[in-house]
Amino acid sequence: MYNWDEFIEKLKDCEIKSGYAVVILTDEVRVSKYNGEIALSSEEYINKLLDMRVFDNDCELHIFRSDVGRKFNCRILKNDGTDMYEDYQILEDNNWEALVGKEKIKLVNHIRYDESGQAYIYDWRLADFVGRSE
């Protein structure tokens, strides 16, 4: 469990230099480009934060909590050499300035195998926003 300041320190240690941030607050969802800084610095927004994903094509840092007032959980998921596959989802209501020209979100599913060799998705992460032809 982490508080906000501990999360910011983890983010500094992460290898994400440029990508996107998807932020879910109690009353809105925000999508923005990420270039090394988080735009959520005011206490008001931190108090309303439920979930945030900062990501690029190679790594995602995910912070989340079940309710306001609780500490944050945090996980980092990287391209780690395990089996993965990409999936794309269409963005139907794309009215975020950061996503002009982007029509899909790229997801990366991380795969493991059970003792019988059956594959399963053990985790997934956001990777990018892409245009129609990408």
| Every domain of the chain and the residues it spans | 4-78, 84-130
- State both tokens at 25: 């607050």
pTM: 0.86
Can you give the length of the chain in residues?
134
Lowest mean pLDDT among 52-61, 86-95, 114-123: 86-95
Distance CA 109, CA 120 (A): 9
Q: Which segment, 35-39, 78-82, 114-118, is predicted with the most confidence on average?
A: 114-118
Mean pLDDT, residues 68-87 taken together: 89
Burial class (CB in 10 A: 0-12, 13-18, 19+), 19: buried
Residue 55 pLDDT exceeds 90: yes
